[in-house]
Amino acid sequence: MFKNILNKIKSSKIFRNLFFFFAVMGPGVITANVDNDAGGIATYSLAGAHFGYSLVWSILPITIALIIVQEMCARMAVATGKGLADLIRENYGVKVTFYLMVVLFFVNLSNVMAEFAGIAISLEIFNVSRWFSVPISAFLVWILIVKGNYKSVEKIFLFACLFYVAYIISGFLAKPDWNNVIHQSVSPTIDWNVAYLVMLVGLVGTTIAPWMQFYLQSSVVEKGVTAEEYKNTKLDVIEGGIIAPLVAFFIVLSCAATLFNSGIKIESAADAALALKPLAGKYASWLFAYGLFNASIFAASVLPLSTSYSICEGMGWDTGIDKRFNEAPHFFWLYTIMIVIGASVILIPNFPLLKVMYFSQVGNGVLLPVILIYMARLINNKEIMGDFVNSRRMNIITWITVWLVIILTLAMVFFTLTQG
Amino acid sequence: MKFFIYFSELLDYKVYDSKGMYLGQIHDLSMHITEEIFPRTIGVVVRRGFLFKEYVNVPIEVVEPYYEGKIKLKIKTADLKFVKKQIRCDFSLSRDILDQQVVDTDGHKVVRVNDVHLLIVENILYLAHVDVGTKGIIRRLGWTNVVRGVVEFFIPNTNYFKQEKLISWKNTHPIHIGPKKNLLQTDIARQKLARIPVAELADIMEELDIFEKLALFKTFSVEMQRVVFADMSIQEKEELIDQLDDREASSLLENIPSDEATDLLHSISRDKSTNLMRLMHSQSSKKLHKLLGFEQNTAGGLMTTEYLSLPQNALVKDALDKIKENADQSKFPGNINSIYLVDEQSRLVGTTILRRFINSDPQSSLSSTCLNSNVSVKTEDTIEEIALLIEKYKFISIPVVDENNILQGVITTDDVMEELISLAWKKYKDQL
């Protein structure tokens, strides 16, 4: 009897689709989940709380752009078997690579600071002092890689990301004005004021970040995907490209429905947690803190790792978590320095964290267009890509995406500089 | 007059024609692929223009000796024809060496080339060393003087600037050369690589991307291919079989133990494995076909068909001859310690091992040296059952028979161990 039901479930279409969905889950989904880090949650919350539904329309184009950009990385990985830093070094020389890597280092360093700030803030909600939480988290993250068991922990992080479902439920429970949401999504009205535009490009900037391109490409290479298996990887990338903005959409939505409508401006983490109130009631701040902590520590483990990999790859230094400290000194030093600096600045009283965040946004903005242009050029090089070279149709879409992202990020840099 | 010059320094040189008119800048040097140890320059690729770049390949014969900071040609600009596209030559420094990965056959590792050190002999440049040190990077970035100033300010009398991290071209193997990533498949390349111990070669392979791996693998001799392949991880093996063209892949599969070949054929796509089987010699493909029919975790799936068998009335002498015939591992990869005695219908009659008959009278009957227990497993027996038997009787290999007791193949302990370890590992990982 029970077996019958089980078999029925197994043969049902939904189950098969669901199974397929989880089966192809890989680097694409992981990258997308890391993307919803401390900075991401903060940006989406602010977007919803301060601008209501007026920004939800942007999620759809961001999704498309994200998928296109990420698919390019995955395709390059399969076609060349090399990481992005490798490809840039081999085709554009050491000069370009070096300066790109310098910028990447500082941008990602400020991202790491943001992650540790996220750890500090989230645990302070549980009344854990940052003098305790930050050094311990930093040490755990560091030892995780040096001892080389990151891969087994990754799944735990990934599972913990199910927390984002809370935002989806909360989004529904808050009973948003669906007519308004749909209306805003299909016929967007853009407010031509500076604050609105900064927020818009901020959304693009945190969702399509430079480090993601390096991280995804290396992960696909490491997985050893063959040409025949590529269609699964493509699905994985599309899956990830939908999940991340979907979560973003519901964070914006629940913040809009709860905070914007009651006119609350987010000033602290406790305010942002209110968005989860429809679901969790008085426990909203706990749920929020838990989610923020997971997102922050997940990204805090991935960012230094991915940055050190990219830099060593580009500069031709030995890499690998399976090596010892003195076998790959550059790799481990970079990794250690990022964690130590990233964590310790959070403990400096009156450290201008907001200024650093501004800097990281500007850095992202400067770096992303450059990397996108290199990517678009590499993917059109038949010598490198072989049969995986961009088709004409893909090329038109790619360049439109690239230029839109470039214009937006340049606008962001302009606004951040003139405002900050 | 300098004897050595760095390629990165040459790259900034301005080029003038015979009348002293500015032509452009050095973009690349095209090299001659020869059997010589140090390749020589055959042309200078000159680039002009900023947004719309044009290139021309000037033969080295019309280039005057090198002056500091510039070079002069013996011909006029009008004699040269610039083209829009980058010029295709077999082997050039910017494209194939600078910033690429090469194998250091002396240090046994993969390194990235930061600069190239050229030897000047009678106006001809030879590729002498590759620079893989940080100083090469600093030089390329144009920061040598700044860095030197800073370092000498803090540590006077430093010998940092006397140390170079150069690798002689003699000890370097480029991984891909030429427009289509075709390879340097010369005897010199083979000799360079043959000096690297096999275990190190496998480590080197691990650091390369799949296409470089492929290029390097193709330079190996058949024997080296077989040994290096055996040392690779399953994932690497699959990738490699997938990328090799069908003919190469099938001949490689014929050269490795048949149980391993079967596992690989199981894991690649059906189309590919059918193609590979078609290309093999009929004997090997028949054998593999049979093995492919069995479940992977049963005796049939684990067994190899490389074993030694003799008719039941054979003499000890026959057994010794058989072992000598098959002692060369490259021709017979199976185990030569055990010999199986079979009757006219190929039914298993007994098992004997080298230790039991090596000191016997060559003319005596082999069957008298057989083990007392005639133990075998059935093709459908599971790995757990086989492991128990092997543990109980302390066998190195165990024969596999079908339902009519006809000998099908043998399973060796290392195959069982490998499978058990991976099963145990899987269980361990599931528990995590």
CB–CB of B179 and A221 under 8 A? no
Confidence of residue A304 (pLDDT cuts 50, 70, 90): very high
Contacts of A82 in chain B (CB under 8 A): 209
CB–CB of B99 and A81 under 8 A? no
The DSSP output letter for B62 is G
Q: Which residue, A74, A336, A377, A78, is CA-closest to A228?
A: A78
Q: Locate tokens 């008119």: which residue? A: B21
Lowest mean pLDDT among A298-302, B258-262, B321-325, B426-430: B426-430
Instruction: Report the share of chain B in percent with pLDDT over 90.
Output: 1
Contacts of B429 in chain A (CB under 8 A): 152
Triad B139, B7, B16: Cα angle to 5° = 115
Convert the pLDDT of each residue in A169-178 to its tens digit: 888 888 888 8
Lowest mean pLDDT among A146-160, A357-371, B4-18: A146-160
Contact of B413 with B395, CB cutoff 8 Å: yes
Q: Are strands B377-378 and B397-401 parallel, antiparallel or unpaired?
A: parallel
Instruction: Report the share of chain A in percent with pLDDT over 90.
Output: 25
CB–CB of A81 and B132 under 8 A? no
Say yes or no to pLDDT of A342 above 50.
Answer: yes
Q: Which of B89, B137, B205 to mutate to test the interface with A (most CBs of A within 10 A)?
A: B137
Alpha-carbon distance A34 to nearest alpha carbon in chain B (angstroms): 22
Instruction: Report the share of chain B in percent with pLDDT over 70.
Output: 89
B residues 116-135 closer than 8 Å to A (CB): 132
Domain boundary among B92, B116, B150: B92
Is residue B15 one of the residues assigned to a domain? yes
CA A257 – CA B418 distance, rounded (Å): 58
- Residue in chain A closest to B271 (alpha carbons) equals A228
Could you say which of A81, A152, A224 has the minimum Cβ distance to residue B211? A81
User: Tell me, what's the pLDDT at B178?
Assistant: 45
Contacts of A94 in chain B (CB under 8 A): 99, 114, 137, 140-141
- Residue in chain A closest to B94 (alpha carbons) equals A93
Contact of B397 with B411, CB cutoff 8 Å: yes
Lowest mean pLDDT among A304-318, B63-77, B190-204, B247-261: B190-204
Is residue B145 one of the residues assigned to a domain? no
Contact of B47 with B19, CB cutoff 8 Å: no
- Residue in chain A closest to B236 (alpha carbons) equals A224
Three-state secondary-structure class, residue B294: coil
Residues B331 and B395 in one domain: yes
Instruction: Report the share of chain A in percent with pLDDT over 70.
Output: 91
Residues B311 and B415 in one domain: yes
Q: Which of A90, A94, A388 to mutate to test the interface with B (most CBs of B within 10 A)?
A: A94
Q: Which residue, B268, B239, B365, is CA-closest to B311?
A: B365
Q: Are strands B70-72 and B54-59 parallel, antiparallel or unpaired?
A: unpaired
Domain boundary among B41, B74, B92: B92
Q: Residue B46: beta bridge partners?
A: B26, B56
Is residue B341 one of the residues assigned to a domain? yes
Could you say which of A98, A221, A228 has the minimum Cβ distance to residue B137? A98
Residues B241 and B278 in one domain: yes
Say yes or no to pLDDT of A232 above 90.
Answer: no
The answer to whether B211 faces chain A, any CB pair under 8 Å, is: yes
Say yes or no to pLDDT of A123 above 60.
Answer: yes
CB–CB of B111 and A316 under 8 A? yes
Is residue B280 one of the residues assigned to a domain? yes
Quick one: average pLDDT of A284-296?
Answer: 86
CA A129 – CA A402 distance, rounded (Å): 43
Convert the pLDDT of each residue in A75-99 to its tens digit: 999 988 889 999 999 999 899 999 9
* CATH of span A31-419: 1.20.1740.10
Joined together, the tokens standing for residue A171 give: 């989004």
The answer to whether B428 faces chain A, any CB pair under 8 Å, is: no
- Residue in chain B closest to A92 (alpha carbons) equals B99
Q: What is the CATH number of the domain that holds B271?
A: 1.25.60.10
Is residue B150 one of the residues assigned to a domain? no
Residues B285 and B309 in one domain: no
- Residue in chain A closest to B101 (alpha carbons) equals A316
What pTM does this model have? 0.75
Alpha-carbon distance B239 to nearest alpha carbon in chain A (angstroms): 7
Is residue B184 one of the residues assigned to a domain? no
Say yes or no to pLDDT of A14 above 80.
Answer: no
Contact of B166 with B131, CB cutoff 8 Å: yes
Distance from the first to the final alpha carbon of chain A: 67
The answer to whether B203 faces chain A, any CB pair under 8 Å, is: no
Say yes or no to pLDDT of A344 above 90.
Answer: yes
CB–CB of A95 and B141 under 8 A? yes
Alpha-carbon distance B431 to nearest alpha carbon in chain A (angstroms): 11
Could you say which of B111, B141, B269 has the minimum Cβ distance to residue A228? B269
Buried b (16+ CB within 10 A) or exposed e, A341-379: ebbebbeeeeeebeebbbbbbbbbbbbbbbbbebbbebb
* Total CB pairs under 8 A between chain A and B: 48
User: Tell me, what's the pLDDT at A420?
Assistant: 52
Order of strands across the sheet with B54-59? B54-59, B41-48, B22-31, B14-16, B70-72
Say yes or no to pLDDT of B181 above 50.
Answer: no
Contacts of A81 in chain B (CB under 8 A): 209-212
Is residue B77 one of the residues assigned to a domain? yes
- Residue in chain A closest to B88 (alpha carbons) equals A383
Contacts of B215 in chain A (CB under 8 A): none
Convert the pLDDT of each residue in A390-406 to its tens digit: 888 888 988 988 888 78
Q: Which residue, A224, A220, A262, is CA-closest to A237?
A: A220
CB–CB of B242 and A228 under 8 A? yes
CB–CB of B239 and A226 under 8 A? yes
Lowest mean pLDDT among A106-115, A250-259, A273-282, B110-119: A273-282
Say yes or no to pLDDT of B357 above 80.
Answer: yes
Alpha-carbon distance A89 to nearest alpha carbon in chain B (angstroms): 6
Look up the domain containing B48 and give its range.
4-92
Domain boundary among B72, B92, B112: B92
Q: Locate tokens 């004699």: which residue? A: B79
Domain boundaries, chain A: 31-419
Confidence of residue B180 (pLDDT cuts 50, 70, 90): very low
Could you say which of A90, A94, A227 has the minimum Cβ distance to residue B140? A94
Is residue B239 one of the residues assigned to a domain? yes
Alpha-carbon distance B93 to nearest alpha carbon in chain A (angstroms): 12
User: Tell me, what's the pLDDT at A135?
Assistant: 94
Residues B24 and B47 in one domain: yes
CB–CB of A89 and B211 under 8 A? no
CB–CB of A152 and B179 under 8 A? no
Convert the pLDDT of each residue in B36-70 to its tens digit: 678 888 888 888 888 788 888 888 888 887 767 78
Q: Say what angle helices A38-51 and A230-255 make with each other, to 10 degrees.
A: 40
CB–CB of A316 and B132 under 8 A? yes
Can you tell me the ipTM of this complex? 0.78
The answer to whether B149 faces chain A, any CB pair under 8 Å, is: no
User: Tell me, what's the pLDDT at A213?
Assistant: 93
CA A55 – CA A57 distance, rounded (Å): 5
User: Tell me, what's the pLDDT at A284?
Assistant: 82
User: Tell me, what's the pLDDT at A97?
Assistant: 94
CB–CB of A98 and B141 under 8 A? yes
**Contacts of residue B384, Cβ cutoff 8 Å, sequence gap at least 6:** none
User: What sections of B142-209 are H helices per DSSP?
Assistant: 144-154, 187-194, 198-207
How many domains are there within chain B? Answer: 3
Q: What is the CATH number of the domain that holds B39?
A: 2.30.30.240
Contact of B377 with B386, CB cutoff 8 Å: yes
- Residue in chain B closest to A96 (alpha carbons) equals B141
CA A151 – CA A120 distance, rounded (Å): 25
Confidence of residue B182 (pLDDT cuts 50, 70, 90): very low
